[in-house]
Amino acid sequence: MIPALSLLAALAAASPGAAAAANSASTATETQGVISYAPAYFAEQRPVTAYDMVSRLPGFSLDNGDSVRGFEGAAGNVLIDGGRPASKSDTVEEILRRMPANQVDHIELIRGGAPGVDMQGKSMLANVIRAKGRTLQGLVQVGQNLAWDGRYKFGVRVEGSGPAGPGAWEGSLRYGEGIDDGAGEGPHLRLSPSGAVLERSDIDSHGAVHQWVGSGAYEGAVLGGKLRITGRFFDDHYRGNELNWGRFPTTDLESSSDRQDRFQTEVGGNYKRELGPRTNLEVLGLRQTEDYSYGGGFRSPLFTADFILGKDISETIGRGVLKFRQSETLSWEAGAEAALNRLESQTAYAENGVAIALPAANVTVEEKRGEVFLKTVWRPAKAWTLESSVREEGSTISSDGDVFLEKTLYYTKPRIAATWAPSANTQVRVRFERVVGQLNFDDFVATSSLGTGVITAGNPDLVPEQAWVTEAALEKRFWKKGAAVLTLRHFALTDAIDRAPVYGPSGAFDAPSNIGDGTKDELQLSVTLPLDRLIPGAELRGESTWRRSEVTDPTTGTKREISGLRPLEWETHFTQDMPQWRGNWGLDVYGAWRQTYYRFDEISTDKLKTWVTLFGEWKPRPDLLVRVEIQNLTERGFRHTRQIYAGPRNTSPLAFIDDRDIQIGRMFYVRVRKSFG
């Protein structure tokens, strides 16, 4: 933490004259805490899409939102023409990548809040304002990826947009093949508690995916307002296999295989209309479906296992919001949302051909959820913005099949946030909020990883995790394009969701469970550092998050960290724009991380090493882009270590340690993009 604080202190001492120059620049102007960036601001980078522009906003990191049920809690941190995208499954990043840069009139960076803007709990939003008038445009993109083991994978995408009568249309179709960069070759050891080698083998694993994604939208004037209709499908197929060649004490061969097939659809509509000079109405309807199947098998001379899972998921959402701007400094928003969610799942598991009963193997779960909310944003003075809201949520969850239950839950979720801007280049933001998580339907059904011998049971009897969140952030802007944001968050958790044993006819199994109260703290530093003074056209961007957590282990009764929570995550990106060569180059570095899961009879730890990508882009013509990448430059690996106990960890000794160290090589990627119009 000390280096981070020292860096921020140094930035705070940066010349206010430089910040003033940024605010007075014609390409970036600020009004009431909202910085507007004209296309000229990004000219040196020669952006192709809106994504290229948003990724260069100083101090801003793209957030695609959370993959949760409902619409209110799934928001990302990007708006399109002042509103959230109407689709949930189509990520903000994909929408921005489909939007040509010449369709962007300007981008607004909203920091801390502004009247008439629902911040959705975010401290910063990017609002992409599209240019008026659409022209026919399109692109064709092809890519080729060569893996370290000689495999070739191909991708292609075709996109288009243009006017259609009184409105406009857009569409996209892409096909892609991918390589599982968590599968490769490496040693496998099984050790005794004293460290003696019990087994030694060599792993050779491969995984690949191919998928089709199609999306389309139409937007036009209807009944005095604007209607946008969207549709999307996602067809995904994964195949993986692993051979484990014994070296000691036997030369037996073990093998495992996985297959996953997923088909998703989404249709939605979003209608907006002005009811008066200061009043707006927005209505949204959305339906998603998913058909998912999984099959896994394990084979060895003395043991076999088979696992099959099939599930059908659907979600239907209706939402209405009424917005009223009382004055230039005060706005109100009220609304309601209703959702119906349904899951049907069937699971089968067998060992040596004998069926093994799993808890919650075959269940049908239905959730009916409603929420009403009231929000307000007020600027009592030029330097201050106050935001407050209250949401009331109610839901009924029922389950039948292997588990029969029905429960009704109610939660009140207040929020208050304040932003103070003592100067044009400095902001202080604070937030206090009650956050209620949404239950993940994947936690309700059993899953498996037969290659590592882990079976996870389902648990429909969960309640959402709740947290009182206290947040403080300091933002400093400097050197025209530089920014630094330091954020501290504290979570006081109730009904924390972690790992605990559940019991079925065949004994105890690990499962997601509510384990009581806990705490979580985060320190996040985000920096955009222009390097023009040292290297013309160069910029360094980085973000790091430190986490500390504490819950009570349900098996041992002792304090420990939260399962699956990474104590440190970081990434940094260096780019140098070279307009004279009509291109740029750079490095993307994603730092190593560690995560640990505390199951009732084992502790498993995953460690992923640092990933580095070297890239270069060349734009010989305004309508042609060539990109070359060397991925995994450092040939990072993935290590999975399990400490297996003879029974529950509180009463049983450590039986053995299982360690897999998978090595992954470099990949070479080439992409050519041709645009039209």
Quickly tell me which residue has 């509509």 as its tokens: 269
2-676: CATH homologous superfamily?
Answer: TonB-dependent receptor, beta-barrel domain (2.40.170.20)
Can you list the positions of beta strands (E) in 352-496? Answer: 354-355, 363-381, 384-401, 405-423, 426-436, 447-449, 454-456, 466-478, 482-494
Q: What is the pLDDT of residues 508-554, one digit of tens each?
A: 788 899 999 999 999 999 999 999 889 999 999 999 999 999 999 99
> Per-domain residue ranges for the chain?
2-676
CA quadruple 7, 13, 17, 23: dihedral, nearest 10: 50
Indicate the average pLDDT of the chain: 88
**Range in 32-36, 103-107, 376-380 the model is least confident about:** 32-36
pLDDT at 68: 52
pLDDT of 6 over the 80 cut: no
To the question of pTM greater than 0.85 for the whole model, the response is: yes
Share of the chain above pLDDT 70, in %: 93
pLDDT of 61 over the 50 cut: yes
CA distances from 77 to 55, 110, 238, 302 (A): 12, 10, 30, 53
pLDDT of 9 over the 50 cut: no
For the chain, the first-to-last Cα distance in angstroms comes to: 50
Q: Which residues pair with 667 in a beta bridge?
A: 631
Taking the C-alpha atoms of residue 280 and residue 334, their distance in angstroms, rounded to an integer, is 11
pLDDT band at 91 (very low <50, low <70, confident <90, very high): confident
Contacts of 150 (CB under 8 A, 6+ apart): none
pLDDT at 445: 78
Is 401:362 a contact under the CB 8 Å cutoff? yes
pLDDT at 115: 77
Three-class SS of residue 309?
A: strand
pLDDT at 2: 34
pLDDT at 453: 66
Q: What is the pLDDT of residues 362-410, one digit of tens each?
A: 889 999 999 999 999 999 998 999 999 999 999 999 988 877 889 999 9
Taking the C-alpha atoms of residue 85 and residue 269, their distance in angstroms, rounded to an integer, is 10
Is 572:545 a contact under the CB 8 Å cutoff? no
Q: What is the pLDDT of residues 618-661, one digit of tens each?
A: 999 888 999 999 999 999 899 999 999 999 999 999 999 999 99
Three-class SS of residue 301?
A: coil
Q: What is the CA 321 to chain-centroid distance, rounded?
A: 26
Q: What is the pLDDT of residues 158-214, one digit of tens each?
A: 999 888 888 899 999 999 999 998 889 999 999 999 999 999 999 999 999 999 999
**Range in 101-110, 254-263, 455-464, 532-541 the model is least confident about:** 455-464
Nearest to 585 by CA among 621, 624, 634, 626: 626
pLDDT of 23 over the 80 cut: no
pLDDT at 75: 67
In the chain, the amino acid numbered 332 is W
pLDDT band at 71 (very low <50, low <70, confident <90, very high): low
pLDDT at 357: 84
CA distances from 592 to 138, 159, 540, 544, 632 (A): 38, 35, 19, 11, 12
pLDDT at 562: 97
pLDDT of 665 over the 90 cut: yes
| Residue/partner pairs of 571-575 with CB below 8 Å, 24 or more apart | 571/542, 571/543, 571/544, 572/540, 572/541, 572/542, 572/543, 573/540, 573/541, 573/542, 574/538, 574/539, 574/540, 575/538, 575/539, 575/541
